[in-house]
Amino acid sequence: MKKVLSGIQPSGQLTLGNYIGAMRNFVKLQHTHRCFFMVVDMHAVTVPQEPAALREQSEAVAALFIAAGIDPAKSSVFMQSHVSAHAELGWLMTTLSYMGELERMTQFKDKSAGKESVGTGLFTYPALMAADILLYNADQVPVGDDQKQHLELTRDLAHRFNTRFGELFTIPEPYIPEVGARIMSLDDASKKMSKSNPNPGSYIALLDPPDVIRKKLSRAVTDSGREVKYDPKNKPEISNLISIYTHCSDISVAEIEAKYEGQGYGAFKKDVAEAVVATLEPLQQRYRDIRESGEIGNFLRKGAAEAAEAAAPTLREAKRLMGFLLP
Ligand code: ATP
Ligand code: LTN
């Protein structure tokens, strides 16, 4: 069975962008692949996190994985920090990566722009991400468009290791949705929707109550004109809402365009909001049930044990090939 691994940072409230760009595919792939899904807490601390908030968000993200439809009996769901092999192989990958290639990473450039001091963890972040993926010899990595560059680097590091020390790592492929790989911010369609945006009006959080969702979508910025047409270049705001709509309904992009022909934006925006509410309400109910059940700790322990078992032989072999004396 081919393998899948992905991770989401507990760096804030998960958004509709995380759901459409990544989590939905997690759920889909678990039927055909051996899957590992992590809450990447060690990545989250590459920017400052308040400890109590980090703890709460970590549990919330784990519960949202399950609420979104990931079956912990089928897939391993775990905290990155519970499997120490990530930190260890992460260090080995750091030693294989070059300053120049890490400096080119756009996520690093965006997150460090204008900051007076930038943590070194933010810089070496992609090496840890490479370790996450390579430890399990993942074939496919479901992510949003913004992670493509990190995946390229992972492939380069895997190839570098294999040629320098001996064949070990599978070269992973990104698995990116065709529409919705980059859900944009509701207040500015030139930026991706992001959970760490300080303006909550810029994103739909998966746990936003229905009225908040309606309000945020009614205030979403729209392009001038009144044609509901999927044209990301010339109509980025409306195209973003169309992507959201098609993902939260069974209506195709072409059908949406036909449905609102000659009608302007008003009715369209209302329907988008209702589709989002209908998609998120059952997920929110499952989320509450899971949090109340007190079971999260149990499935995270089980997931970590499975992951540790799968990761251990790869880490050991990587060390052996690099020339470490094995205990
Ligand atoms: P942060 O803002 O804290 O950097 P984020 O919202 O970008 O976080 P991540 O934890 O970095 O979220 O991403 C988790 C997954 O969700 C990744 O696969 C990422 O590509 C995907 N993703 C994040 N934002 C979007 C988006 N706006 N559209 C589509 N996919 C997204
Ligand atoms: N860098 C990713 C999160 C992440 C990840 C991973 C995704 C960490 N490790 C391994 C896929 C596979 C992000 O910022 N979205």
Confidence of residue 155 (pLDDT cuts 50, 70, 90): very high
**pLDDT at res. 185:** 97
What are the residues whose beta carbons fall under 8 Å from the beta carbon of 209, sequence distance 6 or more?
none
pLDDT, averaged across the chain: 96
3-state secondary structure of 142: strand
Q: Percent of the chain at pLDDT above 70?
A: 100
Is the Cβ atom of 22 under 6 angstroms away from ligand 1? yes
Residue 93 CA: distances (Å) to CA of 58, 75, 250: 25, 26, 42
Residue nearest to atom 26 of ligand 1 (CA): 17
**Which atom of ligand 2 is closest in space to residue 40's alpha carbon?**
8
Confidence of residue 6 (pLDDT cuts 50, 70, 90): very high
Between residues 177 and 197, which one has the greater pLDDT?
A: 197
**pLDDT at res. 264:** 84
**Residue of 8, 18, 26, 147 to mutate, ligand 1, most atoms within 8 A of C-beta:** 18
Q: What is the pLDDT of residues 94-113, one digit of tens each?
A: 999 999 999 999 999 999 99
**Residue of 40, 46, 145, 154 to mutate, ligand 2, most atoms within 8 A of C-beta:** 40
Please check the confidence at residue 38 and state whether its pLDDT lies above 80.
Answer: yes
Angle at CA of residue 202, ends 245 and 244, nearest 5°: 10
Q: Which domains does the chain have, with CATH numbers?
A: 3-181+294-322 (3.40.50.620), 200-287 (1.10.240.10)
User: What number is the average pLDDT over the span 104-126?
Assistant: 95
**pLDDT at res. 223:** 85
Kindly identify the ligand whose nearest atom is closest to the C-alpha of 110: 1
Q: Percent of the chain at pLDDT above 90?
A: 94
